Structure 1
Amino acid sequence: MDELKPRLAAALASHDLTAAAAHLAAAPPQEVAAALATLEPESSAVAFRLLPRHRALAVFEGLTPTAQHELVQLLGEDEVVAVFAGLDPDDRVGLLDELPAAVATRLLRQVDDDARAATAVVLGYPRGSVGRRMSPQFVDVRPEHTLREALDRVRERGHRSETIYTVPVVDDSRRLVGVVSLRDLLLHDPADAVADHLARPIVAHAEEDAEQAARRCVERRVLALPVVDGEDRLVGLLTVDDATRIVAAAGDEDAARAGGAEPLHRPYLLSSVRAITRTRVVWLLVLGLSAVLTVNVLELFEGTLAEHVVLALFIPLLTGIGGNTGSQAATTVTRALATGEASPRDLGRVAFKEMRTGLLLGAVLGSLGWAVASLVYSPSIGTVVGLTLVAVCTMAATVGGTTPLVARAAGVDPAVVSTPFITTFCDATGLLVYFTIARAVLGL
């Protein structure tokens, strides 16, 4: 992409469409899609029109739903319908979710009945579920089939399936009983029964969270994850390429939210100032309102500050360490939740582990704070700072570690609540602890 993008951009800027078409023809579809995503929408649409129809579909599938939406707005209706009809059902649904309702309805009306029916299956599941991201087009076989019969079935129906490398095996009621790989169909005795080569499948339930199912698919290194309904009937497959895209998108979202912002849906340099502002302003408003609590705490201890002004010098240090300690714990546990290493039922274990971790961190930082503050000011001030660091680190780590688990149990994205909640809690509560210890130690 590093080579294609400047060459393609230069050709389009000079209106040399012949050269642009040559550059596009020489690059694989994935590289073309990555290059188009970094161009201005108008230039991207011009380049897309230079692609042959069969390559245009592969490139379009490689774009993000937001980039697809922008391209659809600039292409002619016939071009859009041709591309839309060629997409896999799950990719069609991803695009429909981005489009205005009127446009989505018009597109659905213009595809054939089979495509419309397959798309309707995926649309029937909730947003965010794996059913919404699966492909309902697959080749299945029966346990009693021979490998030869199963392979013939793959040859007959495989062109309509998104993947043929993992073949689900179902009974007469369409309940999933196992999977067989294409490798087994090709390499073993064709007279063998499929039942003799069954592998136990790793499955996902259609209404399960798509990110959790996708991570399971990627981590277990399976080419496709069978998706079943509440009665274990096979309804679709989640392919590894779709799972990888889901995990990557979730990682981008979590990283943005951990920094107190929403993810950008376009490359940074192509995003408008208004769009970037919109992703950040909500969190800044939340954090700004939470600062009112900190001000109220300072007002409560105004007299204490008046008697020992030096205490004010350590407020940024203590609130900063408390917030960072809580954020570190929250980030670690959020990651553990995402990878399946922890779950809400582990709340007690996580709280105990983070409490001990925070206590050890507090002991190290508190000892250093006590030594510095005692040397520069007085042993009593050093004692206040040291004890506060121990208490704040212990409290912040415990709260930071348990907040993602509580959020997940409540059905809320842990990345959404962790940063603002922990910042607010650590600032306000840390100051309460600080001034309480100061009054006790200094006899105020």
Structure 2
Amino acid sequence: MTPEIATPAPVDTLVDDVEQALGHRDLAAVSGLLADAPARHVVQLLDRLPPRQCAIAYRLLPKQRALEVFEELAPELQGDLVHGLQDAEIAALFAELDPDDRVWLLDELPASVAPRLLRGLPVHERDLTAAVLGYPRDAIGRRMSPEYVTTHPEFTAAQSIERVRSRIDDAETVYTLPVTDGSRRVVGVVSLRDLLRAAPDALVAEIMEDAHTVDADADTEPAVREVTELGVLAVPVVDSERRLVGILTIDDAVRILTREEREDSARQGGVEPLSRPYLSTPIRRLVRSRVVWLLVLALGATLTVQVLEGFESTLEKVTMLALFVPLLIGTGGNTGNQAATTVTRALAVGEVRARDVWRVLARELQVGLSLGLLLGLLGGAVATLVYDWHIGLIIALTLVALCTFAASVGGVKPLAARAIRVDPAVFSNPFISTFVDATGLIIYFLIARTVLGI
């Protein structure tokens, strides 16, 4: 039977062809390739090209296609692309974006660029964008859209549908309409489906539902998780007096969650998140994303060296103890990392809160003790058979104590981070491993001294 030969994905072929054409400076060929490619493939292509080639390829797109593609790009890539375009091109693209998308882009650009771009906007668009920019970076108001369609409890279904028709080109979404009173306070929501299904003269008050709202000053991640858990298309964003200030759509919520989870995943691995795909990220950015963490962790690792130096006399008397150091610190680090990853995830999805620290500690103590007993029995038995019962007892007791301690530390650290308003991912797995390594060695050598009487 002839084996199947894997064919490259269309976007892979497009990337190869465009890179080859750019290498030969055949811009006509690049233009032809981009003209025939679906918009989603062009977005993926630009995402994978180096910044200079990305700007060249983008400029070869027809104007309308360029606008469509630009809106689909990640804010980080939009920011990189802006540096390769002329002021007139940037101004045109910026004006076509929705206000919330403009803020995403502005957050990726140098502060000196923002005023110039804002000045080029029409007054109405500038005011909408400024309203979103007025919220802190970590507030959900910074990610809401100020373009929405509302209705009133005393309006009929027919009147509400007419309002949708008049604003359909400007609104972020028309599938969920906030219902507000005369003071702009949210009193409910109504879906376009229900409006179309109702009798034309039916009042909105008769068909609207209770509104789930989010506070504009609320932290972004908990707010967007609430939206996704509700399973709604959009939720109204309100101020402290429940007045409507914007709307958060499900696609924006998913976009924010994807970004947050990418950052958490990177920081748990001891690196800063990359703003672009790996192959199109400049080497200097890769270095910058890792070097600071490596320096911090290297300084932390000096604790382990200090501990070993402090117990040098013990190692000289019983050199066999050094054989088990990698096993014990590896087990302790892995146990702490497992606990930290589990609790960080639970914290992110709202299953636990910072005030649950004692409950989490109690659970992780039990989990760590159980793991320690299982590993201790196995490790102690093997060490006894290979060496003697003294070494077996030391290994068994150390694994019990170390697993219990590491699980407790790993479980509590993310909650401590949230309590002091630090990203729990900052207390990443490498940090926990470094801390547990040093303390684990102290536990190990203290138990060894006690058992051996040295």
TM-score band w.r.t. shorter chain: over 0.9
More displaced stretch, 424-433 vs 82-91: 424-433
Q: Distance in 1 between matches of 2:33 and 2:199?
A: 47
Question: Is the aligned partner of 1:327 residue 2:337?
Answer: yes
C-alpha contact 2:268 2:430 (8 A) present in aligned 1:
no
Gap change, CA 1:239 and 1:3, over 3 Å in 2:
farther
Superposition deviation, residue 16 in structure 1: 4.4
Q: Distance in 2 between matches of 1:101 and 1:14?
A: 37
Q: Distance in 2 between matches of 1:355 and 1:6?
A: 54
Q: Distance in 2 between matches of 1:312 and 1:156?
A: 77
Question: Is the aligned partner of 1:230 residue 2:245?
Answer: no
- Residue correspondence of structure 1 range 183-202 to structure 2 within 5 A: 183-202=193-212
C-alpha contact 2:270 2:428 (8 A) present in aligned 1:
no
Superposition deviation, residue 288 in structure 1: 1.0
Structure 1 residues 267-286: Cα deviation after superposition (integer angstroms, max 9, x where no partner) = 11122222111111111111
Question: Is the aligned partner of 1:45 residue 2:55?
Answer: yes
Tell me the secondary structure at the aligned position of residue 2 of structure 1: helix
Q: Please, what is the CA RMSD of the aligned residues?
A: 1.6
Match of 1:74 in 2: 84
Structure 1 residues 204-251: Cα deviation after superposition (integer angstroms, max 9, x where no partner) = 111112122222222332211211111111111111221111111111
| Unaligned runs of at least 5 residues, structure 1 | none
Given candidates 406, 409, 415, the residue that maps to 1:399 is 409
- Residue correspondence of structure 1 range 242-281 to structure 2 within 5 A: 242-281=252-291
Match of 2:314 in 1: 304
Given candidates 383, 391, 412, the residue that maps to 1:381 is 391
C-alpha contact 2:297 2:430 (8 A) present in aligned 1:
yes
Given candidates 56, 59, 64, the residue that maps to 2:66 is 56
Q: Distance in 1 between matches of 2:325 and 2:372?
A: 16
Q: Distance in 2 between matches of 1:404 and 1:439?
A: 33
Match of 1:436 in 2: 446
Q: What TM-score comes out, normalization by structure 1 length?
A: 0.96
Superposition deviation, residue 4 in structure 1: 3.4
Gap change, CA 1:10 and 1:202, over 3 Å in 2:
farther
Structure 1 residues 283-320: Cα deviation after superposition (integer angstroms, max 9, x where no partner) = 11111111222222222222211111111111111111
Superposition deviation, residue 39 in structure 1: 1.1
Q: How many residues align?
A: 444
C-alpha contact 1:400 1:418 (8 A) present in aligned 2:
no
Gap change, CA 1:389 and 1:70, over 3 Å in 2:
same
| Unaligned runs of at least 5 residues, structure 2 | 1-10
Superposition deviation, residue 161 in structure 1: 0.9
Question: Is the aligned partner of 1:215 residue 2:208?
Answer: no
Match of 2:125 in 1: 115
Superposition deviation, residue 22 in structure 1: 4.1
Superposition deviation, residue 19 in structure 1: 4.4
Q: Distance in 2 between matches of 1:19 and 1:420?
A: 48
Q: Distance in 2 between matches of 1:25 and 1:158?
A: 29
Tell me the secondary structure at the aligned position of residue 112 of structure 2: helix
Q: Distance in 1 between matches of 2:71 and 2:240?
A: 30
Q: Distance in 2 between matches of 1:382 and 1:310?
A: 12
Amino acid at match of 1:424: T
Gap change, CA 1:165 and 1:9, over 3 Å in 2:
farther
C-alpha contact 1:264 1:276 (8 A) present in aligned 2:
yes
Superposition deviation, residue 66 in structure 1: 2.1
- Residue correspondence of structure 1 range 283-302 to structure 2 within 5 A: 283-302=293-312
Amino acid at match of 1:358: G
Match of 2:137 in 1: 127
Match of 2:382 in 1: 372
Structure 1 residues 23-48: Cα deviation after superposition (integer angstroms, max 9, x where no partner) = 43444433321221111222222222
Q: Distance in 2 between matches of 1:307 and 1:167?
A: 77
More displaced stretch, 388-397 vs 347-356: 347-356
Tell me the secondary structure at the aligned position of residue 190 of structure 2: strand
Structure 1 residues 336-355: Cα deviation after superposition (integer angstroms, max 9, x where no partner) = 11111111121121111111
Percent identity at matched positions?
57
Amino acid at match of 1:39: L
Given candidates 161, 167, 190, the residue that maps to 2:177 is 167
Tell me the secondary structure at the aligned position of residue 178 of structure 1: strand
Superposition deviation, residue 18 in structure 1: 4.5
